[in-house]
Amino acid sequence: MPPATGFPDRRKRQAEPVADHPTLTTRRSVLAGGTALAALGLPEAARAAASGVGEALDTHDALGLARLVRKRKVSPSELLEAAIARAEAMNPRFNFMAQKHYDYARAEIARGLPDGPFTGVPWLLKDLAAYIEGELSEGGSRLNRGNRSIFTTELVERYRRAGLVVFGKTTTPEFGLTGTTESVLRGATRNPWNPARIAGGSSGGAAVAVAAGVIPAAHATDGGGSIRIPASCCGLFGLKPSRGRTPMGPYRTEGWGGMSTHHVITRTVRDSAAFLDATHGVEPGSRYAAPSHEGSFLSQVEREPGRLRIALMPAPANGAPVDPECLAVLRQTAALCESLGHQVEEAAPKLDAAALGQASFVLIASSLAADLEDRAKSLGIELGPDVLEPITLAFVGYGKTTSGADFARANNTMQTAAVTVAQFMARYDVILSPTVASPPLELGRINLSPGVPFPEWGQRAAMFSPFTQMANFTGQPSMSVPLGMSSEGLPVGMLFTGRYGEEALLYRLAGQLERAAPWAARRPVMG
């Protein structure tokens, strides 16, 4: 059986039409004209076509682009070439492209695309646990430099059936281990709102591709906040689904002891819901499946959520200080929720942050050590600083010391937390907190080669993102909503966490918030 990493074992071998989104407006951009496209050396006719189609990328979300394709107002090839032109123009500035699958995408269009809800829409996968047979997948690590997958993941197959056109992969830190997208292999991914700041992680490349206007939505993963952190840092919407909602296979159906999941980062709520409609569902051999739901997730976005009981959690369980500007946006968000008829009161589940932190460390480190030792053995090499970054090596070193009993105890700790939070949420529909404890950090603070000892790095990382991991521990759905800006003009996301299996309620609430405080026209100025 092929290894679950999707790389060769070298010991053996090498819908219905949807109206255009009414709140999206054209942004002033260097790409609105032909200047940046001319710099790419494209023929004049190609520049003109890409520039015109580029306006569609500005003014439409993914569902809107698919509608244009269905109405034959634009072709899949025109959308693809416009997205490629934008990626080529923007990547030197922000460094979000890990792999370029341009010829693969052109060949997919030439073969004919299936009729799906996103037919003809250009798409980027995260370069982590999303594989296409025969294409490069490196996971942000020198250990996997130049490796090509030997199978295609189930999620990618579902994206294909939805009609998406994959033309590349976005950057990630090494194996998705931190809340910033910086790596020795690919360098630093920069935030379009301020290139000196982090884009978040580990799906930072995906968030930058969307925030920079290359495409309106992109694939992402979340094992401790990796969808929601970059969504907050880049001013976008990001929902982590319930455990078991989206596929992880085919050869492995959970990641990091069940903490990790796949979904997307988007500009609009309705895109996020429609992508979940296209990808959710049990896969063969899955260890668990999220509860079923009635109707589509997309249909929930326009529905009113009713009067919700919202628990306001301004302080994280680990006691990390929260930036006053994040707290100010939290108070404004609470007031907005109250104005919409919801009941908001300060409350939080009682969790042992130290025990949970240790448990997650055990699960991640032991899983990582097993995978990377197997990978190194298949390559006939030793794991060391020439192929792994210092913090990754520290994770592996610790993972090698853990026992089966340690893993079982860590899993038990997670289950206890899930029960505690479920009991707490018998009284509340949603928990509201900041997504992260401060606006985006300066680059170099929490990367995997920080030049500081492992404990100091761990402290920094935990202080920046003390809220998001709870939903990974418990398996609950959780979303970052772009509801604020700092005094320095940096995005500030708000985190809403729902009961297990209740993405529908979160989409109803998110749709209500989007209508009450629209954010789609708020874009970074890049030229």
Residues with catalytic function:
126, 202, 226
179, 229 in Cβ contact below 8 A? yes
- Phi and psi torsions of 182, nearest 5°: -135, 135
- Phi and psi torsions of 479, nearest 5°: -135, 145
Q: Which position has the token pair 């939070």?
A: 421
The C-alpha atoms of residue 265 and residue 229 are separated, in whole angstroms, by 10
232, 207 in Cβ contact below 8 A? no
The strand pair at 194-198 and 237-240 is best described as unpaired
The b/e string for 248-285 (b: 16+ C-beta within 10 A; e otherwise) is: bbbebbbbbbbbbbbbbbbbbbbbbbbbbbbbbbebee
Indicate left, alpha or beta for 93 from its phi (over 0: left) and psi (-120 to 50: alpha): alpha
What does the block give as tokens for 113?
Answer: 């695309």
What torsion, rounded to 10 degrees, do the Cα atoms 155, 119, 93, 171 define? 10
Please confirm whether the linkage preceding 260 is cis (ω < 30° from 0): no
Q: Which position has the token pair 């049990």?
A: 282
Q: Which of 418, 440, 442, 397 is nearest to 499 (CA)?
A: 418
358, 509 in Cβ contact below 8 A? no
What does the block give as tokens for 170?
Answer: 């976005």
The strand pair at 165-170 and 97-100 is best described as antiparallel
The C-alpha atoms of residue 216 and residue 59 are separated, in whole angstroms, by 9
Query: Which letter does DSSP use for residue 362 in this model?
Result: H
What is the C-alpha radius of gyration for the chain, rounded to an integer number of angstroms?
21
User: From residue 391, how far is each of 164, 353, 365, 375, 454 by CA, in Å?
Assistant: 35, 21, 11, 18, 6
The strand pair at 491-498 and 430-434 is best described as antiparallel
